[in-house]
A and B are shown apart, each in its own frame.
Chain A
Amino acid sequence: AQKVTQAQTEISVVEKEDVTLDCVYETRDTTYYLFWYKQPPSGELVFLIRRNSFDEQNEISGRYSWNFQKSTSSFNFTITASQVVDSAVYFCALSEAGDDKIIFGKGTRLHILP
Chain B
Amino acid sequence: DAGVIQSPRHEVTEMGQEVTLRCKPISGHNSLFWYRQTMMRGLELLIYFNNNVPIDDSGMPEDRFSAKMPNASFSTLKIQPSEPRDSAVYFCASSSRRAGGVDSPLHFGNGTRLTVT
Contact = CB atoms under 8 A, between A and B. Distances in A.
Interface residues of B, number: 25
Contacts of B89: 43
B103 A97 contact: yes
B108 A101 contact: no
A68 to B, nearest CB: 15
A114 interface: no
B73 to A, nearest CB: 19
B108 A98 contact: no
Interface string B81-115: 00000000101010001001111111110110000
Contacts of A100: 31, 33, 48, 50, 55-56, 97, 101-102
B43 A104 contact: yes
B15 interface: no
Contacts of A67: none
Interface string A16-55: 0000000000000001010101000001110100101000
A105 B97 CA distance: 22
A95 B103 contact: yes
B55 to A, nearest CB: 6
Contacts of A52: 103
